[in-house]
Amino acid sequence: MKFLFLLSAGLSLLCFTANAQEKTQSPGHNEIIETLIKNEEYEMDWFAIRDTAKIEIGKVFTKISKTKNTVKVTTTVKMKNMPDWIDETIAELPSLNPVKHTSVNTQREINLNFGKTTTGYYLDKKDNKKTGIKEETGSDFFDSNIYPQIIRWLPLKQNYKTEMTIFDYNPVTKAAILKATINNTTKGFLAGKSVWIVTVIDGISQNKVTNTYYIDSETNQFLKQEIDMGTKKMIMEKVSKD
């Protein structure tokens, strides 16, 4: 009888552990390890894959600036003969509750100020049409622009799976509360380095695009990202400063 009790307790504990790592992450309830959030700058080369050839599209520069109460993530995309694409997100620490998001490229400009009501504007540069944004967003979510960084701030381990609640805005669906899902995490090697290989889908692409991140298990840096879009594929590779 005692053995059966212990067996039942053990199975319950296993089920609890499995469910614990698969719970939904949000600013109000998450497993983010704040000490992993650091001031950082890095550069990645961005390629399209055509047959077996790698064709460079551009370069992506990321800067993470951390203060006592906030973290700012700025991403700048540089492509030949084109203006820079710049995205910037500010979130509170330690929760990563979103504060502000701006995004500027050749096609459009977005400005979002988060709160119980999210305000801002969307500017379609092609039609020169500016749309005001005022959406009731009392839910608990991360800004979609920061969630790829959150992946490497989680306690990654073999078979780690979880979901994140994210906010995304586009002029068709307006404000949307979506899910980003870590489908699996495995240990592997990339160029001789031990890495976590993390596969992710999200509601932004209607779960049709798979992103695979290769994260150095010692330095916690992004080394590579693969973007699979059915018949099309892109890759980002970290530029070594050594």
Q: What is the pLDDT of residue 136?
A: 85
Residue 16 belongs to a domain: no
Dist. CA 99–CA 129, nearest whole Å: 25
Residue 226 belongs to a domain: yes
Q: What is the pLDDT of residue 242?
A: 61
Residue 20 belongs to a domain: no
Chunked into runs of 10 residues, the chain (242 residues) has average pLDDT values of 39 40 84 96 96 92 97 96 95 96 94 93 92 86 96 97 93 82 97 97 94 97 96 94 68
Residue 1 belongs to a domain: no
Between the CA atoms of 209, 210, 214 and 217, what dihedral angle is there, to the nearest 10 degrees? 120
State the residue range of the domain holding 42: 26-238
Q: What is the pLDDT of residue 208?
A: 94
How far CA 65 is from CA of 9, 37, 68, 69, 226, in Å, comes to 45, 9, 10, 11, 25
Residue 58 belongs to a domain: yes
Q: Count Cα atoms within 13 angstroms, Cβ side, for 234.
A: 15
Q: What is the pLDDT of residue 75?
A: 97
How far CA 135 is from CA of 112, 122, 139, 174, 234, in Å, comes to 10, 13, 11, 9, 34
Residue 62 belongs to a domain: yes
Other Cβ atoms less than 10 A from the Cβ of 154: the count is 21
Dist. CA 26–CA 17, nearest whole Å: 19
How far CA 110 is from CA of 41, 57, 129, 139, 200, in Å, comes to 24, 23, 12, 20, 25
Dist. CA 140–CA 152, nearest whole Å: 20
Dist. CA 133–CA 139, nearest whole Å: 17
The encoded tokens of residue 28 equal 């109000």
Residue 55 belongs to a domain: yes
Domain tally, the chain = 1
Residue 125 belongs to a domain: yes
